[in-house]
A = this chain, B = another copy of it.
Amino acid sequence: MPHQSGSLRVALLGCGVVGTQVARLLTEQADDLAARVGARLELVGIAVRDTTVEREGVDPALLTQDADELVTRADVVVEVMGGIEPARTLILRAIEHGASVVTANKALLAADGPTLYAAADAAGVDLYFEAAVAGAIPIVRPVRESLAGDRVQRVLGIVNGTTNYVLDKMATDGLDLDQAVKEAQALGYAEADPTADVEGYDAAAKAAILASLAFHTRVSIDDVHREGITGLTADDVAWAASTGRTLKLLAIAERNTADDGTEGIQVRVHPALVPSDHPLAGVRGAFNAVFVEAEAAGELMFYGRGAGGAPTASAVLGDVVSVARHRVLGGRGPVESSYADLPVLPADSARTRYQVRLEVRDQPGVLAQVAAVLAEHGVSIESVRQSAVPDDHVALLLITTHTASERALSGTVEAISGLDVVRAVVSVLRVEGA
């Protein structure tokens, strides 16, 4: 309940890059927010680890180290501290005390979302998390509300700005991976330890949340098959361009049928080649985008900034307005929808197209041998490009397959690499979005 007529108490957990912007916007846009909510939003406290650090534009009197106490005296608790603990305990405590919660914490939601959703449901309060996936891009509302009357078939997302910046730099400036990562670090797009981004952990957490929403099924980060971009070379990126494709790190969630006929979904994060005229190929720099294929709606794409203080704060405040309106006017937003309860199928039953690059002996009959191996494994060839390396008795073979399962493909690649005429399997990349 509001502690005084016409106002709602907002507590902020965390005051880093995002928290500072949330605090700023709550103050600067106070009148507009009040008009939209129907009540003034009063920031009653900000829980931080160290209250002595100065934070620009933030009233030091609001800072407290006692988050446990703060969450008990708020109508809306905004969690932007990140990490699993103490965020989880504080959110549960806030819910228990009747507060609605807005969180940007993808790691926590991907690890243990259902616990939080259940608690919010039991207490009859809202738990909103638009900022947890793709930052400022409105994606949670569109997927779980606008598409609620449709059937989503596939979600393809560029949901990590760091890796998209890195791959874009490799493509446009011909940098190798290390150089591009260093440039991203210099610009603040990558952290000192870039592991969470370049190894795909961040994208995997978002993939789990997106898959849960799109398919009305509980998906945790442990269900997500994950490959990062660290194996990619400048050569891979250049070859992609020469074949009219662009390399992107994609978060993919799609309906699929396993070999035994089980209908389920597949959730994975890996680098993939997308056709250069696909809308995702045009997503440059540190931007994010989520491409959705739905049965009736067809192709949709949502594009914008996936990270950064102000963009993330925009998404957080949109949620704050929604949950605050519910407290003023009654009602609640959508709760967790997991009725479909689809099985998450194993990674090797994923079906997609592949581009296999081989270094082979430059002699007649090589292509015939390689093609025979593919045929034996039931993998059919869409196109082949062969080019000789002058004076080196070596040829390069670029094979693009039709759709095949991961299992069939990996068996094929193993067999090919055992051929005498094959000197090296240079790369195997998936082709998506076509």
The listed residue (B36, B148, B308, B317) touching A322 by CB distance below 8 A is B148
Contact between chains at B298 and A301 (CB < 8 Å):
no
Q: Which DSSP category, helix, strand, loop or mixed, fits chain A's interface? A: mixed
Query: In the complex, A397→B304 CA distance in Å?
Result: 37
Interface string of A136-153 (1 = CB under 8 A from B): 111001100111111100
Q: Which residue of B is nearest A130, CB measured?
A: B146
Which residues of chain B are near A316, meaning CB under 8 Å? 149
Q: Which of A84-92, A230-238, A329-337, A417-425 has 4 or more CB atoms under 8 Å from chain B?
A: A329-337
22 contacts between A and B (CB under 8 A): A25-B150, A29-B151, A32-B340, A35-B216, A35-B337, A138-B138, A138-B141, A138-B145, A138-B147, A141-B142, A141-B145, A147-B318, A148-B321, A149-B318, A287-B299, A296-B313, A297-B310, A298-B311, A299-B303, A299-B304, A301-B303, A325-B334
Contact between chains at B299 and A150 (CB < 8 Å):
no
Q: How many residues of A contact B (CB 8 A)?
A: 61
Residues of chain A in range 135-175 having any CB-CB distance to chain B below 8 Å: 136-138, 141-142, 145-151
Q: Does A198 belong to the interface (CB within 8 Å)?
A: no
Q: Which residue of B is nearest A291, CB measured?
A: B303
Contact between chains at B296 and A21 (CB < 8 Å):
yes
Contact between chains at A317 and B149 (CB < 8 Å):
yes
Q: Does A1 belong to the interface (CB within 8 Å)?
A: no
Contact between chains at A314 and B149 (CB < 8 Å):
yes
Interface string of A325-369 (1 = CB under 8 A from B): 110011110100101100000000000000000000000000000
Q: Does A282 belong to the interface (CB within 8 Å)?
A: yes
Query: In the complex, A295→B325 CA distance in Å?
Result: 22
Q: Does A207 belong to the interface (CB within 8 Å)?
A: no
Binding site for B on A (CB under 8 A): 21, 25, 29, 32-33, 35-36, 130, 136-138, 141-142, 145-151, 216, 277, 279, 282, 284, 287, 294-305, 308, 310-311, 313-322, 325-326, 329-332, 334, 337, 339-340
Contact between chains at A320 and B146 (CB < 8 Å):
no
The listed residue (B146, B322, B325, B339) touching A315 by CB distance below 8 A is B146
Contact between chains at A32 and B151 (CB < 8 Å):
yes
Residue among A130, A146, A304 with the highest chain B CB neighbour number at 10 A: A146
Query: In the complex, A122→B73 CA distance in Å?
Result: 34
Contact between chains at B305 and A298 (CB < 8 Å):
yes
Which residues of chain B are near A130, meaning CB under 8 Å? 146
CB distance from A318 to the nearest CB of B (A): 4
Which residues of chain B are near A298, meaning CB under 8 Å? 136, 304-305, 308, 310-311
Query: In the complex, A318→B322 CA distance in Å?
Result: 18
Contact between chains at A142 and B142 (CB < 8 Å):
yes
Query: In the complex, A151→B326 CA distance in Å?
Result: 21
Which residues of chain B are near A33, meaning CB under 8 Å? 149
Contact between chains at A297 and B315 (CB < 8 Å):
yes
Which residues of chain B are near A295, meaning CB under 8 Å? 310, 314
Contact between chains at A339 and B35 (CB < 8 Å):
yes
Which residues of chain B are near A310, meaning CB under 8 Å? 295-298
Query: In the complex, A136→B147 CA distance in Å?
Result: 9
Residue among A149, A150, A310, A319 with the highest chain B CB neighbour number at 10 A: A149
Q: Which residue of B is nearest A310, CB measured?
A: B296
Residue among A304, A326, A330, A339 with the highest chain B CB neighbour number at 10 A: A304
CB distance from A336 to the nearest CB of B (A): 12
- Given the known interface contacts A296-B136, A304-B299, the answer about A318 and B145 at a Cβ–Cβ threshold of 8 Å is yes
Which residues of chain B are near A339, meaning CB under 8 Å? 35-36
Query: In the complex, A302→B325 CA distance in Å?
Result: 25
CB distance from A125 to the nearest CB of B (A): 13
Which residues of chain B are near A319, meaning CB under 8 Å? 149
